[in-house]
A and B are shown apart, each in its own frame.
Chain A
Amino acid sequence: MKALSRFRDADTVHHIATEIRRLALDRPVRFMEVCGGHTAVIYRSALTDLLPEEVQLLSGPGCPVCVTGNDFIDQAVALAELPEITIATFGDLVRVPGSTRSLTDVRACGCDIQVFYSPMDALTWALKHPDRTVVFLGLGFETTACTLAATLAECVRSEIHNFRFLSSLKTMPPALRALLSSQKVAIDGFILPGHVITVTGLEVFQFIAREFSIPSVVSGFEPSDLMEALLMLCRQIKQDHAEVENQYRRVVRYTGNPQAQALIEKMFEPCDMQWRGFGAIPLSGLKLRPQFSCWDAENIPVEVEPTREHPGCRCGEVLCGIIHPSECTLFGSVCTPETPLGACMVSAEGACAAVYHFAPLSEKV
């Protein structure tokens, strides 16, 4: 569809930015994006360069790999060392350092780590390798949760018993509530994650306006989508108004995707979940319902090493928007995309990696 490339048109982006400057907000505002995909587009397209001084952007807890604690990696590493286990994972997890080792490190020692684009591909692999027990590392937000729910439903229906699931699935609304309630950082508006809300719908995010009186806009992922979302946020600020608006109307319906929601509900139940930088957030995770426990990799007995975080790593503060990546003393010196010490430098969607690769020099020092 040719029209889609027009969402990347540089002139369009410039015109929207001009309109933002024309609004001339009379106070500085800080808008947070809570999706790693948005972080990557903002920096890759240098959108911050086009914004007036009074509009600042912050990255929040939007990269699932980044907000996942070392304990999850440690458990995956320990499972990988069992001789009958094949670890199946999305690609961006394999280089994330755990307490002492990453999955890449143990693969180099002979453990079987397989990278898949789709959980369904991993299930197909498991069917072809009945002698292996495949443990799929279920990491992500609602966007990914529904694809895992659909795969697990198929796994249950077909009674495939050499496929297990280790969950670190997280849900976005409780994290945003925790962030706003903590009052650790002043936020004037949110760019909301378009593909999470494609699944959940807008209603579960209404508390941002109703309870906290903060504007928010659901955004698409092209440069002009994000710039338009910023314009919509600035207009709400100008009008002293707070609502949840939808910029990504070509994809996001108000009620979300009912099939996806039903599958998540069928396979998973809410649980408390650890988020890097936040600690445990009540009912912010998803785990397999007890009737599916024979597919739950939590039940595979394994000894996991005690969890340690790198003492100098400030990923937690980056993820809460408390510091800019460049304020971490490790950033760009000993912690780089080639030798990452923290999760935010590993993932292409991590704030540290995005700043390292794409930000102007002034933001890197």
Chain B
Amino acid sequence: MCLAIPMRLLEHDGQSGIVEIGGARREVMLTLTPDARINDYLIVHAGYALEILDEDEAERTLALLREIEKYGS
């Protein structure tokens, strides 16, 4: 129920925009993420963007996971 997926913002029209994932597009409300910009990955739940995905943090987490892999092997 709290399923939310990262979708890329393609168009921005003030309160709403168009997001895309794997070729599928739909309208998204940007009421909760007024700072969203084109090409941001938004965490979309029930037609609303809940948050802007921080790509640098995603890379940092992946780097941390790679450290665990190195340590484990």
Contacts and interface: CB of A to CB of B under 8 A. Distances in A.
Interface of A: 1, 3-4, 6-7, 11-12, 15-16, 18-19, 22, 35-37, 63-65, 90, 92, 117-121, 139-141, 143-144, 146-147, 150, 193, 195-196, 198-199, 221, 224, 228, 231, 247, 249-253, 257, 259-260, 263, 347, 349
Interface range for B: 35 or more
Interface in B43-69: 43, 45-48, 50-51, 53-55, 57-62, 64-66, 68-69
B10 interface: no
Contacts of B57: 249-250
A250 B40 CA distance: 13
B4 A143 contact: yes
B68 A144 contact: no
Contact of B54 (A193, A228, A250): A250
B14 interface: no
A191 to B, nearest CB: 13
Interface in B1-32: 1-4, 6, 8, 29, 31-32
A144 B65 contact: no
B52 to A, nearest CB: 9
A362 B54 CA distance: 40
Contacts of A18: 72
Contacts, number: 138
B46 A147 contact: yes
Interface of B: 1-4, 6, 8, 29, 31-34, 41, 43, 45-48, 50-51, 53-55, 57-62, 64-66, 68-69, 71-73
Contact of A90 (B6, B46, B51, B58): B46
Closest 6 CB pairs of A and B: A118-B47, A250-B58, A250-B57, A143-B2, A195-B2, A15-B72
A262 to B, nearest CB: 10
7 contacts: A1-B41, A120-B48, A141-B2, A143-B50, A144-B1, A146-B32, A247-B61
Given A121-B47, A195-B4, A196-B2, 20 more contacts: A1-B53, A3-B55, A7-B62, A12-B68, A15-B68, A15-B73, A37-B2, A119-B47, A144-B45, A144-B46, A146-B32, A195-B2, A195-B50, A228-B65, A231-B68, A249-B60, A249-B61, A251-B43, A252-B51, A349-B3
Contacts of A117: 46-47
B61 A250 contact: yes
